[in-house]
Amino acid sequence: MPFSHHSHSGQFCPGHAVDSLEGVIQTAIQKGMRVFCLTEHMPRDSEDLYPDEPKTNTLEVMWENEAAYFKEATRLREKYQSQINIPIGFECDWIRPSSLDLIETSLNNHPFDFFMGSVHHVHTIPIDFDKEFYRKARKVAGGTDEQLFEDYFDSQYKLLTALKPPVIGHFDLIRLMSDDPNRSFKQWPQVWEKILRNLDFIAEYGGILELNSASLRKGMSEPYPKAEICKEFLARNGRFCLSDDSHGIHHVALNYKRVLDFLDVAGITTIHYLSYEPDSAAPVFDSRFPHLKVNSIGVEDLKNEQFWNLCA
């Protein structure tokens, strides 16, 4: 798994992440990664910032930060192009219907190679920051995890149908702060029905689900998404990519060996990965992003990569 499709740096996501963008890229190179996608957070309304992000960040400041990020990312891609492939994107946040305007502004402001579609808020409250915020969102949803899960997957469906993200971030993030993050979603038929609806739509338009190792460093037993979800997506001929969701150099490729074992458990035999190829005649993955290509590798071949001798 010398690929990651989801990353952050302290340089352009201050407070929420650490280390310079160049330092993160250098670490990915040192660990033998072949593709490392950049996906700093998009600008958001000030009231939607995480508690650990600077409150001095006005929307205007965030637009300036995004422009600086794109400029530096482009410079670093050119600097290290002989050592690693770097698609430049961003992670979008679907918080409320008006989020669509902000996402489209980011897409129009810079020639990004792709974007990752994620939901971190339900009822405009962050659900992955701490238990206090999670419980607040759960109370608004009706008081139970089941009700909050339903609302999360409905919000995710709105994001999917509005934007058709090339890559879907941490599909089942909602379980992180719940009472039992490792339980089966199938215990709640209505939640499971919404999950299957979302998977149907993603498979229909060709979106890729990331297998995100961040859940493992946060104490969960499986990556995002759980094996039961992966198996359903496989049944729909769905495609998977790999991500470390790094928030600094110490997270780059962290727990990837555990994810490799998980691939066999989930029955995944092929991994897909994106690449930036401006001069290639290969078919375009998404017509909105003409320089983005999708590639694949069999899991058995993946296991033979030299990368595994260097990663944790």
Distance CA 289, CA 163 (A): 13
Residues 5 and 167: beta-carbon distance below 8 Å: yes
pTM, entire model? 0.97
pLDDT at 296 over 60: yes
* Structure confidence at residue 195 (pLDDT): 99
Determine the Cα angle at 130 with ends 124 and 133, to 5°.
35
What the block records as the tokens of 127 is 């659900």
Determine the Cα angle at 269 with ends 87 and 191, to 5°.
80
* Structure confidence at residue 90 (pLDDT): 98
Read off the pLDDT of each residue in 146-159 and give the average, rounded to a whole number: 98
pLDDT tier at 312, thresholds 50, 70, 90: low
Residues 165 and 115: beta-carbon distance below 8 Å: yes
* Structure confidence at residue 176 (pLDDT): 98
Higher pLDDT, 164 or 283: 164
Topology (CATH) of 3-309: TIM Barrel (3.20.20)
pLDDT tier at 280, thresholds 50, 70, 90: confident
Residue 289 CA from chain centroid, whole number: 17
Residues 123 and 117: beta-carbon distance below 8 Å: no
Residues facing 270 on adjacent strands: 298
Helices (H), the chain: 21-30, 59-79, 99-109, 131-141, 145-163, 189-205, 214-217, 227-235, 256-266, 299-302
Residues 28 and 21: beta-carbon distance below 8 Å: no
Please provide the size of the chain in residues: 312
* Structure confidence at residue 6 (pLDDT): 98
pLDDT tier at 236, thresholds 50, 70, 90: very high
Residues 299 and 261: beta-carbon distance below 8 Å: no
Distance CA 166, CA 211 (A): 14
pLDDT tier at 1, thresholds 50, 70, 90: low
CB atoms within 10 A of CB 81: 11
Note the pLDDT tens digit of each residue in 106-135: 999 999 999 999 999 999 999 999 999 999
Which of these ranges, 54-58, 84-88, 98-102, has the smallest mean pLDDT?
Answer: 54-58
pLDDT at 256 over 90: yes
Mean of the per-residue pLDDT values of the chain: 96
Note the pLDDT tens digit of each residue in 156-202: 999 999 999 999 999 999 999 999 999 999 999 999 999 999 999 99
* Structure confidence at residue 282 (pLDDT): 77
Distance CA 98, CA 94 (A): 9
Q: Identity (one letter) of the amino acid at 282? A: A
pLDDT tier at 311, thresholds 50, 70, 90: low
Note the pLDDT tens digit of each residue in 9-45: 999 998 889 999 999 999 999 999 999 999 999 999 9
pLDDT tier at 219, thresholds 50, 70, 90: very high
* Structure confidence at residue 62 (pLDDT): 96
The residue among 103, 80, 195 whose CA lies nearest residue 149 is 195
The residue among 99, 123, 124 whose CA lies nearest residue 41 is 99
**What is the percentage of the chain residues whose pLDDT exceeds 90?**
91
Which of these ranges, 34-43, 91-100, 145-154, 276-285, has the smallest mean pLDDT?
Answer: 276-285
